[in-house]
Structure 1
C-alpha cells in the first residue's frame, strides 16, 4: 500500500476507502453550517448544503438524557450554598446551645442509583464532522466530530 497523504482525518477517510471500498457507501468530511434545530452541513466536495431532512445524527452529538448509576469510592465531597435555616439544639439543664452550621465527609462512599445525566454538547456551527453517504448520496449519517491537529 502506498503512503497516504493529508491530515489525520483525511488519512482515515482514505484508508477506509482503500480497505473497505463499497460504492454504495462513502465516508466524507463535512462542516456544520447551521446548528440544530435547523441543522445543515456542507460536505467538502459538494457545492450544496444538506438540510436536516437528508441527515441522520448519532445520539452522542445531540442534547439528550441518559440514566446512570454513580459510585464514588475513598473520598466524597458534598457542599451546599443554599442552607436556609440554622438548626439549634438546646442542651439539658441550661448548659448552653449547640448549633449545626455545616458538616463534611472526608472519607465516605457516595452512591447514586438511577440518576439522569444530561448531555448538552450538541453540534455547533463550524464543527467538523465525519459523515457516511448512503443511498447514492440521498441520505447522510453524521457519525462524530473530528478534530485536526
Structure 2
C-alpha cells in the first residue's frame, strides 16, 4: 500500500508541481519554521507555511454525553485541628477546596459522587497546539516550492 501511495504521489508531483515530503519542526508556532527532511540547509520560514487547523490551538463547540455509571469511593476524610488550614477533597468531580476557620479538632468531609448520566450541549472545547520543536510532519509543497502546507504530524 505504501508503494502505491508513493507511486501515485510521484505521478501527481510530476504533472502538478505538488510534492509531498517529510519535514521537522525547527521553531514552534506562532513563529513556526520547518526543515525539509534530508536537507539541513533548507529552512522554510513562517511566511511560506500554512498549517492545518487541527494542529494549532483552536476551539470547537461540541455535545458531550456520558451514560456510564460512575461511583467514586476515593474521597478522602480530612481532619484539621489547625485554624485556617486549606485542604482539597478530590473525587469523581473536580477538586473542591475547603478552608477550615475554626479551632475544632476535626471535621469529617467524606462524601460520595454518583453520576449516572451527563450531557453538555454546546460545550466549548479548546484543543491545544500539538506541534513541538523536533516533531516530524507531512508537508505538501506547491506553487513551485513557494508555499508549504503542513497537513499532519507524523507519529512513528
TM-score, normalised via structure 1 length: 0.71
Could you tell me which runs of 5 or more consecutive residues in structure 2 were left unpaired when the two chains were aligned: 72-91, 100-107
Aligned to 1:15: 7
- Alpha carbon RMSD of aligned pairs, Å? 2.7
* Deviation at residue 65 of structure 1 after TM alignment: 1.3
* Deviation at residue 45 of structure 1 after TM alignment: 4.8
2:45 alignment partner, one of 51, 57, 60: 51
Could you list the structure 1 runs, at least 4 aligned residues long, displaced by more than 6 angstroms after superposition. Answer: none
Match of 1:53, SS? helix
Match of 2:96, SS? coil
Aligned to 1:105: 114
Are the equivalent residues in 1 in contact too, given 2:61–2:122 (CA < 8 A)?
yes
Aligned to 1:40: 33
* Deviation at residue 145 of structure 1 after TM alignment: 0.7
Distance of aligned partners of 1:38 and 1:73 in 2 relative to their CA distance in 1, 3 Å threshold: same
Aligned to 1:92: none
Aligned to 1:144: 152
Distance of aligned partners of 1:13 and 1:39 in 2 relative to their CA distance in 1, 3 Å threshold: farther
Are the equivalent residues in 1 in contact too, given 2:20–2:138 (CA < 8 A)?
yes
* Deviation at residue 58 of structure 1 after TM alignment: 0.3
Distance of aligned partners of 1:39 and 1:13 in 2 relative to their CA distance in 1, 3 Å threshold: farther
* Deviation at residue 17 of structure 1 after TM alignment: 2.0
* Deviation at residue 16 of structure 1 after TM alignment: 3.7
Number of corresponding residues:
127
Q: Is 1:115 the equivalent of 2:107?
A: no
Could you tell me which runs of 5 or more consecutive residues in structure 1 were left unpaired when the two chains were aligned: 86-98
Distance of aligned partners of 1:19 and 1:75 in 2 relative to their CA distance in 1, 3 Å threshold: farther
